Structure 1
């Protein structure tokens, strides 16, 4: 056997099965594989305009479609969570730490009425968002602090002294 015999796209290669390639060795197009390729292409184009965390899957199917973008940073002394909450006010935000989870939630309500030039416009909007972020053991939730400025929430949770003492640095050596 030669190495070139292992190349699946080689013309006339006999090991290519109709199920794995759209065209068989004889040059005929496999209708099942062609249909599968068309369906895959249709789904790829359908989800293309959506903001996707992973290619090919909408955020809602992955469970991360909460609408809150977060950054989590941890060092020896604290855990810092930064969340984007555009359009929310400080009073609309609820922050809880429970069973190893930091729960960020917010509720936005708006009511607008315009009455001018013979027409009446009434709009009401309502939205609730929530994001749960796992936090490590050894945090001091009683000393947690939160600040909110320009639509960005920053929650800083210090680690307990025991957790800080338990953190061990591992030196990196070159070989």
Structure 2
């Protein structure tokens, strides 16, 4: 049997230029894993990027925007909340370390985990940046973003000057 007859890429016996003979198999396997794991909340270690998504509730009211975020295991000092123009950014660092030791059983265990919560929210109105407030209690962050005062929308006369 000729080696040429085993080649799956046409009669020439060689793969097309740039073709990956295992590309279709890899694509099918990746699609299978995506289908099986769809909807699972995998820990950050499995996602590989170290970013965690906090659960967030957002409500828009006549006064502004109310945001509630669950940040379990986070200390208030590790939360960074900022407003840049009309984008609210929530960033928090999660660091945990657990150490166990049992000299009778001769084991010593140290576990560390680290991750970053990061979410950005586009504010659908002009916020009153100086009046934004936030509180943090028992792992729940509450943020209030009030609307900027409406500008005077009355008609006004605009003077026309001479061109320079």
TM-score using structure 1 length: 0.56
RMSD: 3.0
User: Quick one: distance in 2 between partners of 1:93 and 1:145?
Assistant: 14
User: Quick one: distance in 1 between partners of 2:76 and 2:124?
Assistant: 26
**Partner in structure 2 of residue 96 of structure 1:** 82
User: Quick one: distance in 2 between partners of 1:44 and 1:69?
Assistant: 27
When structure 1 is superposed on structure 2, of 147-156 and 99-108 the one drifting more is: 147-156
User: Quick one: distance in 1 between partners of 2:108 and 2:129?
Assistant: 49
Q: How many residues align?
A: 118
1:1-175 map, 5 Å: 43=31, 46-51=34-39, 66-117=52-103, 118-162=106-150
User: Quick one: distance in 2 between partners of 1:122 and 1:112?
Assistant: 6
TM-score using structure 2 length: 0.59
User: Quick one: distance in 2 between partners of 1:136 and 1:120?
Assistant: 52
User: Quick one: distance in 1 between partners of 2:69 and 2:101?
Assistant: 37
TM-superposed deviation, 1:140 = 0.9
TM-superposed deviation, 1:101 = 0.5
1:161 is paired with a residue whose SS is: coil
Which structure has more RCO (C-alpha within 8 Å, separation ≥ 6)? Answer: 2
Asked whether the equivalents of residues 93 and 107 of structure 1 are also in contact (C-alpha less than 8 Å), the reply is yes
Asked whether the equivalents of residues 138 and 162 of structure 1 are also in contact (C-alpha less than 8 Å), the reply is no
User: Quick one: distance in 2 between partners of 1:150 and 1:50?
Assistant: 31
